[in-house]
Chain A
Amino acid sequence: MAQNRIGIHAGVWGFDWSPASAERAISSAASLGYDLIEIPAIDPGRHSAVDTRASLRRHGLESTVSLALTTADDITSADGSIVARGERRLLDAVRFAADIGSRFVGGVVYSAMGRYSAPASAEGRDGSLAVLRRVAVAAAADGITLGVEYVNRYESNLLNTARQTLEFLDELDAPNAVLHLDTFHAHVEEADITDPVMLAGDRLGYIHASESHRGPLGTGSLDWPRLTRTLVAEGYRGDITVETFSSAMLTDDETADIGVWRRLWDDPDRLAAHSLDYLRRQLHEASVVPTSAPLAGSDH
């Protein structure tokens, strides 16, 4: 059976990362049996890496870091000062990851996360690649992998499919850059949820397990048995991190950012417990090898 680290996005407990909030999310994730927590580097300047690291160590939990650029720091922008801000944010996220002992920084690292009003330009794409090449080098120095997460059409105009992302990675040409699959986004854009797994092969480096509506796993239309069977068959050993959001735990601004207008669940600890159980069962069932031997005790 494939041994993937199973993680959960800290946003399940909200996006506030005060020491008390961080401690709550980290202790909950650890006590429920998760291997890691994904911490959004929304504003690394506000994050206390020292507190976060201490909390992770206290609870024996590992971590990954994610971020999504915004229109104010979009590295596809034609405005050099905006691009520079984006590069700074990416490098800060890498620094934060190194400081808390993470080996992975992923997310919408190549454009703003948001609704664009025009297609991506060739210049914007080239600018993004140039920045990410430097960020990848900085990440490599700290032993950190960079995950490029493609998202649906409403979240970016640059990378919406695995194919586009692999082409982008080809041009990026950084050994520590991988495809970061988010099943919610893939469910909107891909012909088949297993296409990204098959296309990416060993360049698939990180997965967000997210339901079709981003609610509790198994309550939507995502074909989990099909996806997990493919992951097992392809020998995927990377991290699988649960990502789900509910307006119950978000401020109005965060709700608007993500576009989740509904209470898809109410209790983060119950949600997290269910998610881990569901994902482990899916991976276990996907790992069962059918046998042609007769069932024990069968007389016919």
Chain B
Amino acid sequence: MTTPALRNPLGVHALVWAGNTSSAEIERAVERTAAHGYDLLELSLHDLDNLDIEHARAQLDAAGIAVACSRGLAFDADVSSDDSAVVALGADLLQRSLQATAQLGGTVFTGALYSALGKYDRPLTAAGRANAVGVIRDLASEAAGLGVTLGLEICNRYETNVINTARDALRLADDIGADNVRIHLDTYHMNIEEDDFVRPVLEVGDRLGYVHIGENHRGYLGQGHLDLTGFFHALGTIGYTGPITFESFSSSVVARGLSNDLAVWRDLWSDGDDLAAHARAFMANHLAVSAPAHD
């Protein structure tokens, strides 16, 4: 029996390797990603101003590694705000991040593009939601010209008040109304918000554009209690062929400031190589057995 080719590119989040996006850290992240047999590196653009894009692209191209870019916004640059000046700052950040994604050779720009990444102190307003819809609609139009797909990453209640479930995200995408705006499911967030790991996948169906696999505590896959078997089966059922990226954070690697932003207070692992090797094998094994049987 030969091992069938995987139907999805497998990715790894750069924070498994590196705490920042300095050139040295990017070199290391690209090299480790390739060494472990991953197809794709997800780069967070949270420190865009200190990212040497040309250097990173050269590293990625030389290693034959694809890139996806992600980010969340901040409360002072939040496109779901009622304050037009704050919305404008968020829109500018998104626009520059989209340009960086294209310059890096990426075709996916995803994350909490629609909101600050953090705990809100009030519910979303209708005006704030309309602002987010308008900004992302414009961004999608620009992204289409660059061959980039935008992802709406559904995050838990402590990270956003805009979309916490697949249904919320589908409604937001409907209102944006752009073909290159897709849904991004993350199993870590799904654990907190969704009814299970199958129904949301079926509801999103062919509008699924990106996937994060993270354990319930964001440590080693399989070490927690998530029904990842059910989730991979559901991906097989809808015939998903897009990227599947492993995401995990430990305070031993992630820079303190970012750990604080992510509420990472525990060292869930210390050896990124062991973690990434394990995660790739875990995902590949699940993919290999999760396609629907054909009689």
- Write the residues of chain A forming the contact surface with B, with a CB cutoff of 8 angstroms: 114-120, 152-154, 157, 160-161, 187-193, 212-213, 219-221, 223, 247, 252-253, 255-256, 259-262
Set of chain B residues within 8 Å of A259, measured between Cβ atoms: 119-120, 157-158, 161
Q: Which of B119, B158, B196 contacts A221 (CB 8 A)?
A: B196
Set of chain B residues within 8 Å of A223, measured between Cβ atoms: 225
Query: Can you list 24 A-B pairs with a CB-CB distance of less than 8 A?
Result: A115-B158, A116-B260, A152-B158, A153-B266, A154-B156, A161-B266, A187-B192, A188-B216, A188-B217, A189-B216, A191-B224, A192-B224, A219-B195, A221-B191, A221-B194, A221-B195, A253-B122, A256-B122, A259-B120, A259-B157, A261-B123, A261-B157, A262-B164, A262-B165
Residue B49 at the A interface, CB < 8 A?
no
Residue B109 at the A interface, CB < 8 A?
no
Chain A residue with the shortest CB-CB distance to B218: A153
**Beta-carbon contacts of B146-177 to A below 8 Å, as 1s and 0s?**
00000000001110010011000000000000
Chain B residue with the shortest CB-CB distance to A193: B225
Distance in Å: Cβ of A222 to nearest Cβ of chain B: 9
Residue B282 at the A interface, CB < 8 A?
no
Q: CA–CA, A190 to B223, complex, Å?
A: 9
- Is the CB–CB distance between B260 and A213 below 8 Å? no
Q: Which of A118, A212, A247, A261 contacts B260 (CB 8 A)?
A: A118
Distance in Å: Cβ of A246 to nearest Cβ of chain B: 13
Q: How large is the interface on B (under 10, 10 to 19, 20 to 34, 35 or more residues)?
A: 20 to 34
Chain B residue with the shortest CB-CB distance to A159: B265
Chain B residue with the shortest CB-CB distance to A156: B265
- Is the CB–CB distance between A261 and B191 below 8 Å? no
Set of chain A residues within 8 Å of B216, measured between Cβ atoms: 187-191
With A187-B216, A261-B161 in contact, is A160–B266 under 8 Å at CB?
A: yes
- Is the CB–CB distance between A261 and B124 below 8 Å? yes
Q: Which of B119, B192, B263 contacts A212 (CB 8 A)?
A: B192
- Is the CB–CB distance between B123 and A252 below 8 Å? yes
With A115-B119, A212-B191, A221-B227 in contact, is A189–B217 under 8 Å at CB?
A: yes
Set of chain B residues within 8 Å of A191, measured between Cβ atoms: 216-217, 223-225
Q: Which of A161, A252, A262 contacts B122 (CB 8 A)?
A: A252
- Is the CB–CB distance between B195 and A220 below 8 Å? yes
- Is the CB–CB distance between B264 and A153 below 8 Å? yes
A-B interface, 3 closest residue pairs, ranked by CB to CB distance from nearest: A154-B158, A153-B263, A259-B157
- Is the CB–CB distance between B119 and A154 below 8 Å? yes
Q: CA–CA, A161 to B217, complex, Å?
A: 10
- Is the CB–CB distance between A192 and B225 below 8 Å? yes
Q: Which of A120, A256, A260 contacts B265 (CB 8 A)?
A: A120
Distance in Å: Cβ of B229 to nearest Cβ of chain A: 13
Distance in Å: Cβ of A227 to nearest Cβ of chain B: 11
Q: CA–CA, A117 to B131, complex, Å?
A: 28
- Is the CB–CB distance between A187 and B119 below 8 Å? no
Set of chain A residues within 8 Å of B265, measured between Cβ atoms: 116, 119-120, 153, 157, 160
Distance in Å: Cβ of A62 to nearest Cβ of chain B: 32
Q: Which of B124, B191, B264 contacts A188 (CB 8 A)?
A: B191
Distance in Å: Cβ of A231 to nearest Cβ of chain B: 17
**Beta-carbon contacts of B240-270 to A below 8 Å, as 1s and 0s?**
0000000000010000000110011110000
